[in-house]
Amino acid sequence: MNSRPNKKPRDLVDGVLLLDKPVGLSSNDALVKAKRVLNAKKAGHTGTLDPFATGLLPLCFGEATKFSQDLLEADKTYEATVHLGIMTTTGDTEGEVVERLPVDVTLEQIEAALARFRGPILQVPPMYSALKRDGKALYEYAREGITLEREARPVTIHGLALAGYEAPYLKILVTCSKGTYVRVLGEDIGAALGCGAHLNALRRVEVGNLAGQDMISLDDLLAHPDPLSLLKPVDALLSTFPAIELTPDLARRFLQGQRLALGKESVSVPAEQGRVRVYHDGRLLGTGQLGDYAILAPERLVSTVQPA
């Protein structure tokens, strides 16, 4: 006889949680804990934060997972502390110190160094990363003492500002494109200053249009009497796209996957073509592509909304 208690069925939970990931926890571990608290059936995160990093980790539940790719592609903003004069194997505090150099730099030199990294740049991915070569993560090679050649990749540093300097700690605010390694940026700034560096602290404060002031800590989530009330709606991921409100008949046809010619319909259509979020009666139906002659093609549909 099986005496093990039956597990509670998972709930269909839809929405977005803006978690303030604590230091020392992987993004996946943070997701597992939040999923357990919300008893959610389906969940995913929108791009990892290193365990030593903290800050904004948007977690998607249920229907929101369909739109998480947009945040993977989005720009991110970080507050970073660069420790000048010390280089480590990993480029951050988790590695071993490999070299120490004296630090004697002025604010003018720092500003000149930062200016070199604004805009489009080429960046060599670090060995301690999850990028794969022949099906094996680079960090696995690194742990075996193997260093592989890596091609520099184009990234864009949209903003790079000096937030403070008390030697040897340099604080910067970075807004960057997807694929940017802030660890590598810190090392490269140190190299440009001639003293080397590693990243002492990293905190993500923005992902796309999602801002850090709405974050909740894991401890507060665990203690909250109604954690579901902390979820933002699914369309919080889509607020940068223009909206189209459909009539009941058009909404039904849209949810059936039909392309809609909106030019002759009593529907307000954005002037710009491209991706749009689509509603009926204020409820998100999904996303679509608005093309020539106001043709709306369904893209990703919210399955919890059924055609009338």
Residues 157, 118 contacting (CB under 8 angstroms): yes
DSSP 223-237: H-S-GGGGPBPGGGG
Query: Which among 156, 183, 161 has a CA at the least distance from the CA of 49?
Result: 183
Encode burial over 74-85: b for 16+ CB neighbours within 10 A, e otherwise. Answer: bbbbbbbbbbbb
- How far, in whole angstroms, is CA 182 from its chain's centroid? 13
What are the tokens at 59?
């977690």
Tell me which residues are annotated as active site.
50
Those residues with Cβ within 8 angstroms of residue 177's Cβ, 6 or more apart along the chain or in another chain: 75, 155, 156, 157, 158
DSSP 282-305: TEEEEEEEE-GGGEEEEEEE-TTS
Please name the residue that has the structure tokens 């940068």.
240
Stated as kind and residue range, the H or E segment containing 186 is helix 182-192
Beta pairing partners, 277? 243, 287
Question: In the chain, what is the straight-line distance between the N-terminal and C-terminal CA atoms, in Å?
Answer: 47
Q: Virtual CA dihedral for 165, 170, 176, 181, nearest 10 degrees? A: 180
Length of the chain: 308
